[in-house]
Amino acid sequence: MSAAAGFQPGGEPDEGGALRTVDELAAAAGLTVRTTRYYASLGLLPPPARRGRMAWYDDNHLARLEMIRALQDHGFTLQAIEKYLASLPADAGVEDLAVQRAMLTSWTVGEPVELTRRQLDQHAGRRLTDDEVALIEEFGLLRRVADERGVTRFVPVHGFDVAVELLQVDIPVAGMRAAGEAIEKHMSALAEELTSVLHHEVVEPWRRERSHSQHSREDAAQLENTIGTLRRLTLEAIVRGFQRSANKVITRSLDRG
């Protein structure tokens, strides 16, 4: 595994942050010890510092675990996560990882939940047919994942409840697909453009400033909070912008009539 390239086994912890046992590290990241050890065994974490028989983990290990969780929220497989982490500079510090995570943090609200097939029906509020499950997957509002034992689980994506309700409306499936394709087409283009603005107008100036003066962890945390606020305001602006545009379409239609 190459994700921990540049880190020497038994080396001293980076960043001079607090040292943690694997139990404390897992608790800080909101993971189980078993999962944390599993990620470490895949090479997704740099080796811990060894002092006698004890293994110690620092803030850099915690930042990488938080990065892994952010990538998983986007549906990345562990293999893809390993590849992404391997692409990061070997000397990437806590602040660098915080900025990367801020750009990757999901725009949806709440933690993703893995459900069994029965739990999926309970979440939907009714028994879903296999065809309905497949259709919701096609809409991109549900994905399948396999746990450590290879058991299939279902992860509802933000908008899943809307899809379930929509399936009960007397609308042809072809119409649903056409509407979904239109939304995906325009939202993807908008997301690309807004992400570019965020990168060039917020993140890059912060990095250029960092080249002249060392930012603290507090600075990185403030940037992450700023990006979070921009996400919320952007979502509100998109909804209101669509409402304005839809009303203009109605007005033009009435004028033509």
Decide if 10 contacts 53 (C-beta within 8 A).
no
The pLDDT of residue 4: 41
Beta strands in the chain (DSSP E): 49-51, 54-56, 142-146, 152-156
Q: How far is CA 7 from the centre of its chain?
A: 26
Local confidence pLDDT in tens for the 257 residues of the chain: 434 433 343 444 444 457 899 999 999 988 899 999 999 998 899 899 988 888 999 988 998 998 898 888 777 888 888 888 888 877 777 777 877 777 777 676 666 788 999 999 999 999 999 999 999 998 888 988 876 677 888 989 888 998 999 888 888 888 888 888 888 889 888 888 988 888 888 888 877 776 655 656 677 778 778 888 888 888 899 989 999 999 999 998 888 86
The single-letter DSSP state of residue 57 is B
Beta bridge partners of 155: 143
The pLDDT of residue 170: 84
The pLDDT of residue 127: 94
Residues in the chain: 257
Of the candidates 29, 98, 79, the residue with the CA atom closest to the CA atom of residue 57: 29
Q: How far is CA 27 from the centre of its chain?
A: 20
Phi, psi of 130 (to 5 degrees): -60, -35
Q: Could you tell me which CATH number the domain at 22-104 has?
A: 1.10.1660.10
* List of residues 6+ apart from 156 with CB closer than 8 A: 113, 115, 120, 123, 141, 142
Q: How far apart are CA 134 and CA 152, in angstroms?
A: 14
Domain boundaries along the sequence of the chain: 22-104, 117-170, 192-256
CB burial string 84-99: b at 16+ within 10 A, e below = bbeebeeebbbbbbbb
Decide if 153 contacts 72 (C-beta within 8 A).
no
Q: Is 50 helix (H, G, I), strand (E, B) or coil?
A: strand
| CA atoms 106, 110, 113, 119: torsion sign | negative
* List of residues 6+ apart from 78 with CB closer than 8 A: 39, 42, 44
